Amino acid sequence: MQRFISFFLAFGLCGFMPHVLASSETPEQLVRQSSRDVLEIIRKNDKDPLKVRELVDARVAPLVDYTHMTQLAAGRHWKTATPEQQQALTREFRTMLVRTYLSALTIYKNAQVDVKSVRAGNSPSEQDVRTEVNLPGEKPITLDFSFEKSGADWKVYDISVGGVSFINNHRNTFASVIRSEGIDGLIKQLASRNAASSASK
């Protein structure tokens, strides 16, 4: 659980990106700048979850390729889904990421994020940024941000926490649900969990 709570910190750090950042920024620059910005936002708004939610919705979307992430998580089952199912699954997947991230915000308001290295991906349009999240009195958590060039912009499509890919982790879970309940069953399950989480706020 610690590893994947850490993922949602990372997700938020790369997502709270100021709109003034230009598309020419490199993945490393995006991570450095946005991590500083988001930690400041958390500190200032940690008692106002509704405001934080609005900031997440407004600022995460331009940086994260939700459709690609959902496609990768669904694996081979993505091609068997109708366009309507793909849209619904992407919508619920996005909501899941945001709501789970929000639940971890207060834990990490005193964190520090350090960029350790940048390496090329499998193609010139891919880069991985390796970072560590440091919390007072705790062992650093290693995070790898996977970026892909989409037009003029770099977008996050996966994050690995301690060497464990978020996409791969969810692919196994999604495949199991799809095999037993189908695409609609997975959508229904995610929607139910998202609704229950919203009702408990």
From CA 45, how far away is CA 59, in angstroms rounded?
A: 15
Tell me: pLDDT of 22 over 50: no
Distances (CA, A) of 71 to 1, 55, 142: 24, 25, 25
Full strand arrangement of the beta sheet holding 126-134: 112-120, 126-134, 141-150, 153-161, 164-165
Tokens of 17: 């990106």
Are β-strands 112-120 and 153-161 bridged in parallel, bridged antiparallel, or unpaired?
A: unpaired
How many Cα atoms within 13 Å fall on the side-chain side of residue 95? Answer: 18
From CA 201, how far away is CA 199, in angstroms rounded?
A: 6
**Contact 31/17 with Cβ under 8 angstroms?**
no
Fold of 2-195: Nuclear Transport Factor 2; Chain: A, (3.10.450)
pTM over 0.95: no
Of 77 and 20, the one with more pLDDT: 77
Backbone angles phi, psi at 44, to 5 degrees: -80, -25
From CA 98, how far away is CA 11, in angstroms rounded?
A: 9
Residue with tokens 């789970």, as numbered in its chain = 100
In tens, the pLDDT along 121-178 reads 888 899 999 988 888 888 888 888 899 998 888 998 988 888 888 888 899 999 999 9
